[in-house]
Amino acid sequence: MPLWNRRYGCSSRPTAFITGWTIFVLFGIACYSVVLKTTSGIQLSNKDAVGSPMKGGSIPNAPGVPIYVMMPLTSVSDDGQLKKVYDGKNISWILEQWKKLGVEGLMVDIWFGLVEREPRQYDWKPYIELCELMKAAKLKLQTVLSFHRCGGNVGDRCYIPLPKWIFVVAKNDSDIFFKDRDGNADDEYLSWGIDEQPVLMGRTAVQVYQDFFVSFRETFREFFGNVISQVQIGLGPAGELRYPSYQLNKWTFCGVGEFQCFDKYLLSRLQSEADKRGISDWGHPPYAKDVGFYNSSPSETLFFRDDGGMWNTRYGDFFLNWYSNELIQHADRVLTAAGQVFFDRSNTNNDFTGQFHLAVKVAGVHWHFRSKAHASELTAGYYNTRYRNGYSPIFRVLKKHEATVVFTCMEMKDNNQPKDCYCSPEDLVGLIVRSSIANNISFAGENAVSFYDVESYRQISAVSRSYAVTKGKPMEAVTYLRWPEPIDIFFQQDALSILGQKFLDFVRSMAYDQAESVDFPGL
């Protein structure tokens, strides 16, 4: 059987997989519909709280999935203050409502740009306050160590840049940031070309991250396990392990994006790899005339076109392997540093094994997924094509560090996407789920964009059930994007709104996981 038959469950196009996946999703929706209740004007009390079915909530035997909710990006102000009033409602009251609604906890971004305003000087005060409030409310907290800029991505309603001292360095060396082929630097995240280069006032990028981890550990050790249940490490733009290939100030959906390896550090690493392999002439990224521009379609390019494209040549394979491996090595370096800080087996005081999980987010680049080259995934750093599973090499590194993969776009359906973009979020989610199971790593999910409709809840529910059936246990968690703004979209003074009721139904359906024994398609 050809490789792509085994991996995608299909031959020339993923028809068989789509059919099986569609049947499975319909089954999941049917399960969800059994649980879904239509009510109005619900008043919540403590007895309504579902809690976590996995952690001894009020449904202790339900084999379901704990639900978390992302807090607003601006939960901490520019001047380092925890926001305590939302739309006239005190944060303690809001946390009480979330608890009554049955969520396991919340997720918060801990911004590099707010915490380390000066080198090695850390201000954790607002996040300590939040942990204390969460503890009082008996809620868990997923923390995201966000080493990226807030602003410039889909749904961003804030602007929190990297620390000013980073830009002092960049003034004399803009190559600390990723660059496209025109030399445009993207200051959203540090290039992993400097992971091991001591250019940040005497520190490498990995040392900067590790020092941050140490300060975080010493500050929050009392909250590990009893409040903090997950530490997600931001490994790229938007906190995702990827290159900044589709920047919104240059790109529009559904362009192929551009390769982002033109800073001097990554270019040097590319040339060194080519020299090592005895193919020095290949020590350069693809030429502009071959790959097009941010908003090109694959068929307009020599590199990404389906038939005869350069992606499927020896040079294309060399470059794409190198490009993806740089991303994978970055994850390995940073997770190694995190493991040394949080799971130090030689020092029991610094070994928090079993108290929380590390996690890494992988982006849901679903456009052009039904093409052969998967151009948009390639520019983002995922060497995934119709004939090659590009996610398993990433997941093997996550398994090495016992880190959870967090994946987005769980709510998306193929039939809601533009046909000329060859999108398939459903097939992509299926591939990610199968690959995570095959590599025996924990899987958690998120939605990619904010929503309040029942169909999107049902889609997430269907995916979670298919995972549970195939894996034999539930997903680690689902994190809902995002805490509604204004908050009375869910919580009115004396009752849940209609939209809040829909979310409550979703939480309950995820707790009562009633999936039957059905194989996950294509495994």
The residues assigned a catalytic role are 240, 446
What the block records as the tokens of 500 is: 């809040």
- Contact by Cβ (8 Å): 191, 263: yes
Residue among 110, 117, 175, 177 at smallest CA distance from 147: 110
What the block records as the tokens of 103 is: 């969520």
User: What amino acid occupies position 360?
Assistant: V
Hey, which bits of 216-355 come out as E strands? 228-233
- Contact by Cβ (8 Å): 373, 308: no
Residue among 436, 195, 327 at smallest CA distance from 445: 436
Contacts of 246 (CB under 8 A, 6+ apart): 255, 257, 294, 365, 376, 379, 380
- Beta partners for 67? 478
Residue among 305, 279, 312, 281 at smallest CA distance from 291: 305
Angle ∠(414,446,412) on CA atoms, nearest 5:
10
**Tokens 């090495």 sit at which residue?**
400
HSE at residue 515, side-chain half, CA atoms within 13 A, is 30
Number of Cβ within 10 Å of residue 210's Cβ equals 19
CA 188 to CA 173: how far, in whole Å?
15
